[in-house]
Every structure is written in C-alpha cells, then in structure tokens.
Amino acid sequence: AVLDQKHKMKKKVLLMGKSGSGKTSMRSIIFANYIARDTRRLGMTVDVEHSNVRFLGDLVLNLWDCGGQEAFMENYFASQKHNIFRNVEVLIYVFDVESRELERDFHHYQNCLSSICENSRSAKVFCLIHKMDMVDESQRESVFNERVLELRRRSSPIDITCFRTSIWDETLYKAWSSIVVTLIPHVSDLQSTLDSFAKTTGADEVVLFERTTFLVISHATVDAGRARDPHRFEKISNIIKQFKLSCNKSSAQFQSMEVRNDHFAAYMDMFTPNTYLMVVMADSSIPSAVTLLNIQSVRAYFEQVEAGIAGASPGASAALPAPPVAAAALSK
C-alpha cells in the first residue's frame, strides 16, 4: 500500500518539442533556479534527461525532457514509444513561434498525440507557444490566436490547453502554475480553505505559492469584480523568485516581506514547510501584528490540509480537520 501511494504521488510529465524551442531553458528557470540570461549557456538535450522534482512535499514530478533533434524524435515514435509514452500524466509540447518548419513541427506533434492516445489515454495535453517576446507586441495576440486555432484543428478530438510563453516575463510562471496545479489532487479543498481564511480575516486577496519554484498553487480573491492586473500573481512569482535567488547569492535566506502604502498592505511569509503565503489587505490601517497573528493562527491547520491533500488517493475525498477561528475580531 505504501509503494502504491508513492506511485500515485509520482507524476510523469513529458516535455517535448523541436530542438532549440526552449524546453530546457524553461525547465531550468522554473525548477533549477536559473535566471533567463543564464540559460544561454545551456547545451542541447541529448536523448532524454530525467529529473524528479519534489513539489508540495510528497508530490514528485517525474520530468522527462526529450531532446528534439530529428533522429531522437523519430526514435521516440519507434523503438522507445512504449517506454516514453506509457503512464504519462501530462504532455507539454513546446512550439517555437519563429520556427520556419511549422509543418514538420505539426507532424512530430501529431505523432506525439497518437502515441499518447495509444499508451496514456487520460493524459492532459498542454501546448506552449514559446519565445513570444520575439513577436512584435502589437501582433502577439493575433499570432497566438491563429496558432491556437490551427493546433486545436490538428489535435481534434483531443482537448488541449494552450499558453503563450517567454522566459523574459511572467507568462512562463502563468503556464507552469496552471499545468502543475492540474497534478495536485483535491486542490479545490485548498481553494475553499483559502476562501474561508480570506473572508474571516478581512483580506482582499490571499495567494499560496510553492516554496521552491514560487509557482502559484491557489488563491482567493474577495472582490473578484474589481479591476486588477490579470497577471499580477505570476509577476509576483517572477519578482520574488529573482529576489530570493539574490538573497541566496548573498548567503542570506528569504523568509518574509512586508509592503505598505496608503492604499494597501501586503505580507509575504514562509507558511508551511512547502509554501509561502501572501496576504493583501486594502485597509492599510490594520496593524501588521494583527495580520501576522491571523497567519500564525492558521499555519498548523494549513499544514494538516496540505498533508491531507498530499496523502489522498486520486478520486477520494480528503479528510479535512475543522478550521480554526482566525483572529478576525482584532482586525475590526
């Protein structure tokens, strides 16, 4: 039973696409703490590079970064097909938006889809239209939409999700956060707990980040109708990740941060062993000590929720403890 549970928490993720499309660069930024400019020194992936990335404690992403040279691609669909495409939870296919061999790219992509259907019918498929920073800003929307339309036509009847990405901005974090969240069992339980915490404490927004990658796991927004930057969470992921790396270079450890002005107060704090929590309060007159006390009061509870989600079998209900009462009265 223990071995079976470990298998269920180990999720196989295929990262595929033509050589030079940017697969290894994005993997290195998200999971290996590279900054964008340092990815230039990365070499081409030879055959398949395997890495196990621990995420949220017990969840392990078994990442297969598949080299995209022509000889390797043909081999994946022949002698290695069963080994590569069996037991796949997620296929991430990366397209270089500047590719001059689009038909060949589509050909390899459709071979991947056929192999996935044959060996891992329940796998989720994500397509990343990458290097979008190379497209003129005024044309990015139309270029992306045109590419998505073509990909959906060629993928039918398989349902796919597409993202536009670049290693130079927050779009990379948006895509990978959305992908990784699909691998977390019962993430809706975490969502409802964050909603409850936000309402109880009077917070405008509460965001949960994975500790190592700073990918967004879940968030709660109290006034969803209010105009906000739709990319704000991923921008924060990118900024804080870079700041955390700068701290590491100075032999310092990033633990917490507070930003306050006349319009809001925001708190970022190390939360559970696997997460950071950001709490945004529109009422900046509320003392910092009150918000920090609220965070402290639910820390142990969230650790139990996280442990329950990580230990739950897919398809089963996570047994959640009764929530504590946060110190909302103090924030009045």
Asked if residues 326 and 197 have their Cβ atoms less than 8 Å apart, the reply is yes
d(CA 196, CA 199): 5
Instruction: Say what the pLDDT of residue 121 is.
Output: 93
pLDDT score of 99: 93
CA distance 125 to 116: 9
pLDDT at 226 over 80: no
Q: What pLDDT shows up at residue 236?
A: 92
CA angle 255, 26, 148 (to 5 degrees): 125
Q: In the Cβ-directed half-sphere of 23, how many Cα atoms lie within 13 Å?
A: 27
Q: What is the C-alpha separation between 42 and 36, in angstroms, rounded?
A: 11
Helix residue ranges, H only, 77-227: 81-85, 102-119, 140-155, 171-181, 187-201
Using DSSP's 3-state secondary structure scheme, residue 13 falls into strand
Alpha-carbon span 327 to 313, nearest angstrom: 33
> Per mean pLDDT, which range of 20-24, 165-169, 318-322 is the poorest?
318-322
**Range from 11-15, 83-87, 168-172, 285-289 carrying the lowest mean pLDDT:** 285-289
Q: What integer is the mean pLDDT of 260-284?
A: 91
Average pLDDT for 267-295:
90
Share the mean pLDDT of the chain. 85
Q: What is the mean pLDDT of residues 133-158?
A: 96
